[in-house]
């Protein structure tokens, strides 16, 4: 039978006394737990930045390709050419092609008119014929940037046909103004149309190539158009003779190599 609780307590106290323990605390102090280490909270999420109110890019103006080497004296003529509507070519062109190059160059090359590539880019002699002309210029010891390159007419005739007298008459005044400002030492007319438009040559280019003419005091050499040389490569040597004659007048010789 289980002893009464009081008697058990007394016997336990007697046991403690025999063991030398004379004082028993009324309460057992509780072991204080160390505070749990605070778990570092994740940094607050940065507020989502709102995309800046970007303005859409302004629509590009539909200005035509800048065709001209922008020498200030030539800009007014370039603007006149761009606005010209003196002949029907103004209704079919993509870009006007006033020409480009240096002021006061040794040589100015004048061709017939722009082709499809020139009409698209607004630059003179950039198609296949232009690539050949670039090689001819380099063979003379120049770069395209050191000469001036232009045409009798400033807009492409449809299907690359020969310009009509009306079309040429509308453009010749622009060319004359350009020459007065550019002041080349020599002019090379490339083909029959250029010779007819600039110095009123009436004979075919095969008969007059290699001959000198004059435009307002400037010596003019007549030679084949590069497009013709692409069709008949046997004539390249004659064109090269003509260009060497220009160099001789300038007191120069073709660079070696």
CATH of the domain at 211: 3.40.470.10
Domain count along the chain:
1
Q: What distance in Å separates the CA atoms of residue 169 and residue 163, rounded to the nearest whole number?
A: 10
Q: What distance in Å separates the CA atoms of residue 5 and residue 147, rounded to the nearest whole number?
A: 127
Classify residue 171: in a domain, yes or no: yes
Contact 181, 139 (CB under 8 A): no
Classify residue 114: in a domain, yes or no: yes
Instruction: State the pLDDT at residue 5.
Output: 52
| Burial (CB count <10 Å: 0-12, 13-18, 19+), residue 102 | buried
Classify residue 68: in a domain, yes or no: no
Count the alpha carbons within 13 Å of 68 in the hemisphere toward its beta carbon.
21
Classify residue 54: in a domain, yes or no: no
Read off φ and ψ for residue 220, nearest 5 degrees.
Answer: -125, 125
Residues 83-97: tens digit of each pLDDT: 999 999 999 999 999
Instruction: State the pLDDT at residue 54.
Output: 40
Classify residue 10: in a domain, yes or no: no
Chain Cα centroid distance, residue 257: 31
Q: What distance in Å separates the CA atoms of residue 118 and residue 65, rounded to the nearest whole number?
A: 11
Range of the structural domain that residue 227 is part of: 101-249
Classify residue 225: in a domain, yes or no: yes
Residues 169-191: tens digit of each pLDDT: 999 999 999 999 999 999 999 99
Q: What distance in Å separates the CA atoms of residue 2 and residue 30, rounded to the nearest whole number?
A: 31
Instruction: State the pLDDT at residue 124.
Output: 98
Distances, alpha carbon 105 to alpha carbons 13, 186, 230, 254, in Å: 128, 8, 26, 17
Classify residue 208: in a domain, yes or no: yes
Read off φ and ψ for residue 215, nearest 5 degrees.
Answer: -130, 110
pLDDT tens digit at each of 257 positions of the chain: 444 555 555 565 555 455 555 554 444 444 444 444 444 444 444 444 444 444 433 333 333 434 445 689 999 999 999 999 999 999 999 999 999 999 999 999 999 999 999 999 999 999 999 999 999 999 999 999 999 999 999 999 999 999 999 999 999 999 999 999 999 999 999 999 999 999 999 999 999 999 999 999 999 999 999 999 999 999 999 999 999 999 999 999 999 86
Q: What distance in Å separates the CA atoms of residue 30 and residue 223, rounded to the nearest whole number?
A: 117
Classify residue 144: in a domain, yes or no: yes
What is the 3-state secondary structure of 2-38? Answer: CCCHHHHHHHHHHHHHHCCCCCCCCCCCCCCCCCCCC
CA angle 135, 78, 69 (to 5 degrees): 40
Determine the length of the chain.
Answer: 257
Element (H, E) at 213: strand 212-215
3-state secondary structure of 111: strand
């Amino acid at each position: 039978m289980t002893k009464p609780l009081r008697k058990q307590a007394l016997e336990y106290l007697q046991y403690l006394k025999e063991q030398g323990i004379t004082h028993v605390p009324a309460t057992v102090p509780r072991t204080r737990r160390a505070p749990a280490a605070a778990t570092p909270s994740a940094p607050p999420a940065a507020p989502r930045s709102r995309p800046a109110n970007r303005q859409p890019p302004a629509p590009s103006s539909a200005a035509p390709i800048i065709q001209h080497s922008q020498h200030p004296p030539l800009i007014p003529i370039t603007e006149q050419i761009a606005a010209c509507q003196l002949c029907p070519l103004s209704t079919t062109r993509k870009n006007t092609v006033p020409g480009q190059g240096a002021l006061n160059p040794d040589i100015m090359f004048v061709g017939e008119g722009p082709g499809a590539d020139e009409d698209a880019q607004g630059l003179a002699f950039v198609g296949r014929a232009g690539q050949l002309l670039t090689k001819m210029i380099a063979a003379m010891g120049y770069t395209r940037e050191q000469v001036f390159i232009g045409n009798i007419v400033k807009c492409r005739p449809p299907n690359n046909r020969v310009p009509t007298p009306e079309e040429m008459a509308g453009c010749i005044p622009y060319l004359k103004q350009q020459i007065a400002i550019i002041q080349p030492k020599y002019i090379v007319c490339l083909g029959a149309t250029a010779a007819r438009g600039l110095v009123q040559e009436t004979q075919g280019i095969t008969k007059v190539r290699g001959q000198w003419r004059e435009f307002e005091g400037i010596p003019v050499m007549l030679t084949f158009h590069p497009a013709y040389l692409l069709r008949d490569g046997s004539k390249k040597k004659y064109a090269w003779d003509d260009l060497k004659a220009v160099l001789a007048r300038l007191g120069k010789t073709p660079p070696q190599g």
